[in-house]
A and B are shown apart, each in its own frame.
Chain A
Amino acid sequence: MIGQIVFLIVLATAIYLFSRNVGRIRRNILLGKDTDRSDRPAERWKTMARVALGQSKMGKRPVAAVMHLFIYVGFVIINIEVLEIVLDGLFGTHRIFSRALGGLYSLFIGSFEILAVLVLTACVVFLARRNLLKLKRFSGMEMKEWPKSDANYILIIEICLMTAFLLMNAADYKLQTLQYNHYIKAGSFPVSSLLTSFLAGQTSTLVAIERACWWFHIVGILAFLNYLPYSKHFHILLAFPNTYYSKLEPKGEFSNMASVTNEVKAMLDPSFVPTAEAPGRFGAKDATDLTWKNLMDAYTCTECGRCTSVCPANITGKLLSPRKIMMDTRDRITEIGKNMDQHGNDHHDNKALLDDYITREELWACTTCNACTEACPVNIDPLNIIVQMRQYIVMEESAAPASLNNMFGNVENNGAPWKYSNADRFNWADK
């Protein structure tokens, strides 16, 4: 009975804390400007099914794709087991599903165990890739301190959880064969049955191991749940809405700013009456000038570095890293959210995404080649943020690099980006 009460308190606290943190992230995302992504729902569902559920963009790197698939499938399916654990915890039962499911239960437990081994393998391989093989993709100036440890913590936690799960089953299985107490014969244990010889023979020790692992496993999962909102691992949830709200237009298409259209129309036709209000600011200086989709992108980023590893600017040693653009955006909007929580909604810390986080040198290095957006496994668009920040620099500050200002002048005066007279435009026909 005490066990049940403790369990209920732990569960309720975990769920409360988790929903509070998710609520904060949701609030932070909604600090972004509005953008309409409600069109073409059928196409959106399809994109989500393909990219998030079907992992379609992982295939370009086969080793990572297979290992990631193990963890992904493992996590989704083993969570059925978590449901049983939660029900057992609440009702003080043991393996509550075993009666109802009968033979099927063996199949379930058996496949969970095999998946657990696959997850374990994948986590070990991933740890090795990060720390022993030191793949270039996992390093970079933005991958120091927290982001670096974060990735390792996740893998280590997963290894612990899976080990506890298998150990729990092993002790349970041994107790079952000993026909001890309520440990009735339930399930088949293809993996953990191999571990039983390592366990002590005494039933009291076995019960202690089984209980300890049970508690560790479920408390660990609840703790992990609460770790998600602080971690790149949050992508396991946000990947779904984020791919649903993907940009559906061709990658080359940059949306037109409606506020500018109004002003240009008024300039070309003095009788034109604008319909929409002028925005407070053209382009983005701070994270709150970005759209909610940009901010959702930022919280979805897995820090995998696929974008940066294909970025022509980054490959050739420039400062720009699209992954850093996403991480900076996330860190800044989180900071703004924290300021609001601590000092009220009107507080301003005199910092901004531009210059305090992202430098101009990074922004001007982008070739708008879309390699980053193509590579991102969860359809994140770093390029869109880069362009909005360029818009701020150009339209609000008139602070583009001098050579670009020359180009603007030429386009405006001669209709071409170079200093050639329009009258010479057709000379090629006579050569």
Chain B
Amino acid sequence: MDELNKSEIKNPNFEIPTMAQMAAEGKQPEILFWVGCAGSFDERAQKITRDICKILHHVSISYAVLGTEEACTGDPAKRAGNEFLFQMQAMMNIQLLDGYNIKKIVTGCPHCFNTIKNEYPNLGGNYEVIHHSQLIQQLIDEGKLKAEGGESFKGKRITYHDACYLGRGNEVYEAPRKALEILDAELVEMKRCRSNGLCCGAGGAQMFKEPEPGNKDINMERVDEVVAINAQVIASACPFCMTMLSDGIKHRDKDQEIKVLDIAEITARANRL
């Protein structure tokens, strides 16, 4: 796994455009990149955010982020039962998005993706929403993204962990796998995959509280499945899964052998972005 550790992480050497800036210049981006709270604040997830920007920049899509204007979609509040707070967040975000006349959104998080795509329309927010794994799939299909010039994943054992709100929640099973298929790696599936996938343990606001008493943490149950199939890389597509899986791998002392990487990070590395 040395190569994986070696490949240096380059920070973006380009400006990341914000909506406010673009609007001031009278410009309208093709797509809004909705970063999400984890992608904005969590150090590990920030790397994924930057890699998504690198991909957008690399294929010259005109995009922008909301920067400090973005706020939580309300997903954790809604799943925890706080419908008031959720709808407050939703309506403020819809006002903001509509103010900028946003039509198309790519999100870096399955929870934001699900909430904006499915739960905002009924509150008046109608956008075309895709998750970054779907964007990557589209770019691959269009021939705009290849797996060339960067790190080789050839022959590596890679498994993909389905995020609940991408997989079962919205039936996006193929897009992230598509991004892995072009790597020429050895793709292995865990026993519980696709619609049978096992949750990482973070959803439904569990991320923000201690688990209830039990005999094992859910992320350990999942990580043991990864260890059992001898995967070298777990690909994930959700910043919360990223945290849960990384913690679990560390807890099992496997962080030298097994890397947890987001689909966007793998794509960026394979293309040396």
Report which A residues bind B (CB closer than 8 A).
60, 249-257, 260-261, 263-265, 267-268, 282-283, 310, 312-313, 315-320, 361, 364-371, 373-374, 387, 389-395, 400-401, 403-404, 406-408, 411-412, 415-418, 420, 422-426, 428-429, 431
Contacts and interface: CB of A to CB of B under 8 A. Distances in A.
A319 B71 CA distance: 34
A424 B42 CA distance: 12
15 contacts: A250-B171, A260-B83, A261-B123, A313-B214, A315-B218, A365-B214, A370-B169, A371-B198, A374-B195, A401-B209, A404-B209, A415-B71, A416-B41, A416-B72, A425-B40
Contact of B218 (A367, A423, A425): A367
A112 to B, nearest CB: 37
Contact of B123 (A256, A319, A371, A387): A256
Contacts of B199: 312, 367, 369, 371
B91 interface: yes
Contact of B212 (A320, A387, A407, A415): A320
Contacts of A403: 208-210
Interface residues of B, number: 72
B40 A426 contact: yes
Contacts of B62: none
B101 interface: no
Nearest to B163: A369
Interface string B199-216: 101111111111111111
A366 B82 contact: no
Contacts of B192: 310
Interface stretch (B10-18, B134-142, B226-234, B255-263): B10-18
Interface stretch (B114-122, B146-154, B245-253): B114-122
B83 A429 contact: no
A252 B118 contact: yes
Interface in B59-98: 65, 67-68, 70-72, 74, 76-85, 87-89, 91-92
B16 A429 contact: yes
Interface string B163-193: 0110011110000000000000000000010
A408 B86 CA distance: 10
B123 A366 contact: no
B28 interface: no
Contacts of A426: 18, 40, 65, 67-68
A387 B206 CA distance: 13
B37 interface: yes
B7 interface: no
B41 A425 contact: yes
